[in-house]
């Protein structure tokens, strides 16, 4: 897949598109909270994150078009770890967009945020997310049985981990598999 790829800090101007993505059926069905989010709730979440820096939220772009969202949360400064969440929001995104977005996100996590470990989670029924984590080098760490109430029952959640050592060991091979052009991670603070 050829194009210009960018991972940039989320700005207030992105709120509408991110909310539209987040409330789409195909995204909500794989989220822990699967009800529709209001703009008021969404704006409050964004404002809180701007002041507390509890999350590091980014937008993934291809050729200047917003395609997806990555969020790093639950930062543990002492142990240099965090959790991530993500989705390709644009249903028309080119095939392979998720892999490029994930790779850029992990580059940001380990090289800019300087995390030592990144944790991921996926419902046991979400085969695409499980395969995605494995493709990006995560290893399955465990299973939280009957963890989240969803679809009228408690669903299992699988946990994944990727360490900085594992990332630096696999990143060049991973990059050569998913794209053959330079990519950019924008560390700019944005204007919020």
The structure tokens listed for 117 are 């470990």
Q: Is residue 26 part of a domain?
A: yes
pLDDT in tens, 43-72: 999 999 887 888 999 999 999 999 999 999
Provide the pLDDT confidence category of residue 180 given band limits of 50, 70 and 90. Answer: low
pTM for the whole thing?
A: 0.88
Torsion of CA 140, 156, 143, 137, to 10 degrees: 10
Q: Is residue 99 part of a domain?
A: yes
Instruction: Name beta bridge partners: 140.
Output: 160
Closest listed residue to residue 119, CA positions, set 69, 153, 81, 147: 81
Q: Is residue 49 part of a domain?
A: yes
Instruction: Provide the domain count of the chain.
Output: 1
Q: Is residue 75 part of a domain?
A: yes
pLDDT at 124 over 70: yes
Q: Is residue 157 part of a domain?
A: yes
User: Which pLDDT belongs to residue 52?
Assistant: 81
- Among 43-57, 73-87, 149-163, the minimum mean pLDDT is found in 43-57
pLDDT at 181 over 80: no
Q: What average pLDDT does the segment 149-177 reach? A: 94
Looking at the chain, the whole-number percentage of residues with pLDDT higher than 90 is 81
Provide the pLDDT confidence category of residue 177 given band limits of 50, 70 and 90. Answer: confident
- Among 15-24, 61-70, 173-182, the minimum mean pLDDT is found in 173-182
Q: What CATH number is given to the structural domain containing 106?
A: 3.40.630.30
Query: Where are the extended beta strands (E) located within the chain?
Result: 5-9, 56-62, 65-76, 81-88, 117-123, 139-150, 153-163, 184-185
| 130 CB-near residues (< 8 Å, 6+ apart) | 122, 124, 140, 158
User: Which pLDDT belongs to residue 186?
Assistant: 58
Q: Is residue 127 part of a domain?
A: yes
Q: What average pLDDT does the segment 113-142 reach? A: 97
Q: Is residue 185 part of a domain?
A: no
User: Which pLDDT belongs to residue 185?
Assistant: 54
Q: Is residue 192 part of a domain?
A: no
pLDDT in tens, 133-142: 999 999 999 9
Relative to beta strand 117-123, strand 153-163 is: antiparallel
Domain with 127 in it: 5-179
């Amino acid at each position: 897949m050829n194009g210009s790829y960018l991972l940039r800090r989320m700005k207030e101007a992105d709120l509408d598109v991110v909310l539209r993505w987040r409330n789409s059926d195909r995204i909500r069905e794989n989220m822990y909270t699967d009800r529709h989010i209001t703009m008021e709730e969404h704006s409050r979440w964004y404002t809180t994150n701007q002041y507390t820096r509890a999350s590091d939220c980014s937008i993934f772009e291809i050729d200047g078009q917003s395609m997806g969202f990555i969020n790093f949360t639950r930062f543990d400064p002492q142990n240099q770890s965090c959790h991530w969440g993500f989705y390709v929001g644009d249903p028309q995104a080119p095939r392979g967009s998720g892999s490029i977005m994930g790779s850029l996100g992990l580059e940001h996590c380990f090289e800019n945020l300087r995390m030592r470990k990144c944790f991921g989670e996926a419902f046991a029924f979400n085969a695409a997310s499980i395969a995605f984590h494995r493709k990006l080098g995560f290893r399955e760490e465990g299973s939280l049985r009957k963890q989240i109430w969803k679809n009228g029952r408690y669903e299992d959640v699988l946990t994944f981990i990727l360490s900085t050592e594992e990332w630096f060991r696999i990143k060049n091979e991973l990059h050569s598999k998913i794209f053959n052009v330079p990519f950019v991670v924008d560390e700019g603070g944005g204007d919020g």
